Homo-oligomer: A and B are copies of this chain.
Amino acid sequence: MMYAWEQNKETVVTWLTDRNFGAIRAWLQEQNAVDIAALIEELPEVHHTAVYRLLPKTIAAEAFAYMESDTQERLIRAFTDRELAAVLDELYLDDVADLLEEMPANVVKRLLRVTSPEDRRTLNQLLRYPENSAGSVLTTEFVDLKADMTVAAALRYIRTYGPDKETIYTCYVTDSNRHLQGVITARELLLAHETDRIGDRMQTNTVSVVTTEDQETVAGLFARYDLIALPVVDSENRLVGIITVDDVVDIIQQETTEDIEKMAAIIPSDKPYLRTSVWELFRSRIPWLLLLMVSATFTGMIITAFESALAASVALTAFIPMLMGTGGNSGSQSSVTVIRSLALDDIRFGDLFRVLWKECRVALLCGAALAVATFVKILAVDRWLLGTAVTLPEAAVVCVALFITVLIAKLVGCSLPMFAKRVGFDPAVMASPFITTIVDAISLLVYFGVASHILSA
């Protein structure tokens, strides 16, 4: 789909070359901060600062937060100290922390110089949380109320301090030591009597996480409980911040992209494709290719070891790709299903035997169907249509080996990711390519084993 601003990009460029700044300013006033950020990034770099300075104050900082870090850096270098201070003042502190992480040292220095000592302390703390933890995605700008406030007082408090808060829809009730006591939504406040006490209306069975919790768990909680915001506490249950649902949508997309990349034997990166350099793409892809290539040589060694058997029955060689391919596909169907179910918390390690039993029955059905199909195909196509010299015992070897391979592939495919998760490895890394290599080797061993049994009999 095409966004509105994309249709107007040409017009804006014309206005810029005509120096018709009034028209641009009027047009910008109607636009969304996200679209303005996208527009500025699409314009030639010489225009970035000029367009940014035409933005209404209220929207400038928001648009800034949505830009890519190279655009942000270019703007910061063009800003006066006063402009920079104005932007930082409007930004939420978690966005400033993200900015500090991305910028080179000299820009960071300048950013910190124009920040207030109090904000610097908070920033320092935000930057100390480990990557991908709940702490690293929280925001400290939330509404905190006290249990003995009345609803009217709480609404007055929100009206005064709300404009600087990331959300006012979920308010947090803390005691004098900042311990989280409960939660009350703006909806409950609006529907309650003005004289009600907050302590009597708040919900106390609050879902919360500690700062060190993995962001994937955080995303799971939002999905499970349909949350709009989630409080984050430190090890002593003191409220340090909240995570809002708009950030969680981004976390879910990012975590899933990582899982998909791992399943495809790619080392994950968090950059969009077109912004990733050729060299970075190369480095994220070559390690697994090399490793899988080395492990694939084992299958080569197996073939070499059975060279004489293959020479005795040339027809058998032709079925190797089909056998290995079907085994690999069967295995990755199971592994991918299990990996995704683990990620969504649909299954856990305790379900191992239920999963094995289910996959076993599915494998028997799939294996039987594939073996029968192959047998019919060998008779009808290979022998009758193409006149290939496949003997009936050879056809039997292929079908029996196929059946056993599918069974083993599915059992390996479903159990390996579960064991990986159990011992603290990433299940997604266990997926398709890795399992395919194991299954390739097993399928060849099965094939030659069955061949020597049936053909020598």
Interface residues of A (CB under 8 A from B): 1, 30-32, 34, 155, 158-159, 162-163, 168-169, 186-187, 190-191, 204-205, 207, 217, 222-228, 245-246, 248-250, 252-253, 256-257, 259-261, 263-266, 272-274, 278-279, 281-282, 285-286, 288-290, 292-294, 296-297, 299-301, 303-304, 307, 310-311, 314-315, 317-322, 324-326, 329-330, 332-333, 336-338, 340-341, 344, 346-347, 351, 354-355, 358, 361-362, 365-366, 369-370, 373-374, 377, 381, 386, 388, 432-433, 436-437, 440, 444
> Are A377 and B260 in contact (CB-based, < 8 A)?
no
Q: Quick check: A322 and B300 within 8 Å, CB to CB? A: yes
Check A159–B191 contact: CB distance below 8 A: yes
Least CB distance from A315 to B in Å reads 8
Q: Is the CB of A333 within 8 A of B266?
A: yes
20 of the cross-chain contacts (CB-CB < 8 Å) are A1-B217, A31-B205, A32-B207, A34-B226, A159-B191, A223-B250, A227-B246, A228-B245, A245-B245, A264-B332, A264-B432, A265-B329, A266-B337, A273-B338, A282-B362, A282-B366, A296-B325, A299-B322, A304-B318, A432-B432
Query: What are the 8 tightest A-B residue pairs by CB atom distance, in nearest-first order?
Result: A226-B246, A264-B336, A299-B321, A296-B322, A300-B318, A273-B341, A296-B325, A272-B346
CA distance A281 to B360 in the complex (A): 11
A257 interface neighbour in B186, B286, B344, Cβ under 8 Å: B344
Instruction: Name the contact of A321 in the complex, choosing from B320, B329, B333 (C-beta under 8 A).
Output: B320
Given contacts A260-B336, A290-B370, 6 further A-B contacts (CB under 8 A): A168-B186, A264-B336, A273-B346, A273-B355, A278-B362, A282-B362
Q: Is the CB of B300 within 8 A of A205?
A: no
Residues of B within 8 A of A169 (CB): 169, 186-187, 228
Select one of B217, B225, B274, B325 contacting A440, CB under 8 A: B325
Q: What separation, in Å, do the CA atoms of A226 and B317 have in the docked complex?
A: 56
Among B299, B330, B373, B388, point to the contact of A304 (Cβ < 8 A).
Answer: B388
Taking CB atoms, residues of chain B closer than 8 Å to A317 are 303, 307, 310, 317
In-complex Cβ contact of A336 among B191, B261, B296 (8 A): B261
| A355 to B1 CA separation, bound complex (whole angstroms) | 20
Give Cα A340–Cα B437 distance, bound, in whole angstroms. Answer: 24
Total identical chains: 2
Neighbour of A333 across the interface among B168, B259, B285, B332, CB < 8 A: B285
Chain B residue at minimum C-beta to C-beta distance from A293: B326
A256–B388 CA distance with the chains assembled, in angstroms: 44
A319 vs B294: C-alpha distance when bound (angstroms) = 11
Q: Do residues B162 and A370 form an inter-chain contact, with CB atoms below 8 A? A: no
**Chain B residues positioned under 8 Å from A381 (CB to CB):** 297
CB within 8 A of A289: which of B168, B274, B358, B370? B370
Least distance between A174 CB and chain B CB atoms (Å): 20
Given A190-B186, A317-B317, verify A228-B225 contact (CB < 8 Å). Answer: no
Give the complex CA separation of A395 and B217 in angstroms.
Answer: 49
Q: In chain B, what residue has the closest Cβ to A402?
A: B293
Chain B contacts for A155, CB-based, 8 A: 190
Please report the C-alpha to C-alpha distance between residue A433 and residue B328 in the assembled complex, in whole angstroms: 9
Which of chain B's residues have a CB closer than 8 A to the CB of A290? 369-370, 373
* Pairwise interchain contact A190-B249, C-beta atoms closer than 8 A: no
Contact of A273 with B325 at beta-carbon distance under 8 Å, contacts A162-B190, A228-B245, A303-B317 already known: no
User: What distance in Å separates the Cβ of A420 from its nearest Cβ neighbour in chain B?
Assistant: 17
A293 and B369 contacting across the interface, CB-CB below 8 Å? no
Q: Is the CB of A377 within 8 A of B294?
A: yes
> Cα distance A326–B436 when bound, in Å?
11
Residues of B near A300 (CB, < 8 A) are 318-322
CB-defined contacts of A273 to chain B, threshold 8 Å: 337-338, 341, 346-347, 355
Task: Name the residue in A223, A336, A341 with the highest tally of chain B Cβ atoms < 10 Å from its Cβ.
Answer: A336
A65 to chain B, nearest CB (A): 10
Q: A347 contacts which chain B residues (CB < 8 A)? A: 273-274
**Chain B residues with CB below 8 A from A285, complex form:** 330, 333, 362, 366
Q: How far is the CA of A158 from the CA of B257 in the complex (A)?
A: 40
Least CB distance from A170 to B in Å reads 10
